Amino acid sequence: MQTRTQVARRAKREPVAGLLAAILFWTPSTPGLAQDGVSIAGGRREFLQHCAICHGKDGHGKGALAEQLKIQPADLTRIRKRNGGEFPFWSIYRFIDGREEIKEKGDRVMPVWGDEFHKEAGSNNPEAESQIRTRILKLVYYLQSIQEE
């Protein structure tokens, strides 16, 4: 049986512990525990396989196909700078996924990677959505990691 003092101490700690847990698990603006080197490396692999042809291996928008495109690919290393110093994590996620319309981004010329990844995962795969989310998250973490000042 707990004494009143033990109960009172635990009651004081629980709100602090809950707040600390929320902070640790809800901070996508800077790379941290969830965005470790393994996730970023996985995002780099996705980027090189799917994005570098247009955006360039370094993300500056000068890929092999860039000159052939009517609209030049964005310099992905300056996303944070174009957004007032903040990296718009979830907006970038939704734009890559492409299955959710984002009006402020204008006409879309980039492939809808959410659809492409879904095709690769296969329609009979019950884990497809989880795999797609993971691939896109890794890409976003990678893009976040290459931001220039």
pLDDT on residue 82: 93
Count of other CB atoms within 10 angstroms of residue 103 = 5
pLDDT of residue 18: 46
Architecture of domain 30-145: Orthogonal Bundle (1.10)
**In the prediction, which pLDDT does 4 show?**
55
The answer to whether the CB of 55 falls within 8 A of the CB of 74 is: yes
Which two three-digit tokens encode residue 121? 């995962």
Average pLDDT, consecutive stretches of 10 residues, N- to C-terminus, the chain (149 residues)? 52 47 45 70 96 96 93 94 95 88 66 88 83 94 94
Are 29 and 87 in contact by the 8 Å Cβ rule? The answer is yes
Please report the sign of the dihedral spanned by the C-alpha atoms of residue 115, residue 121, residue 122, residue 126: negative
d(CA 95, CA 137): 12
pLDDT at site 15: 53
Joined tokens for residue 108: 């879309």
Give me the amino acid identity at 26.
Answer: W
> How much is the pLDDT for 1?
55
Q: What is the pLDDT of residue 88?
A: 94
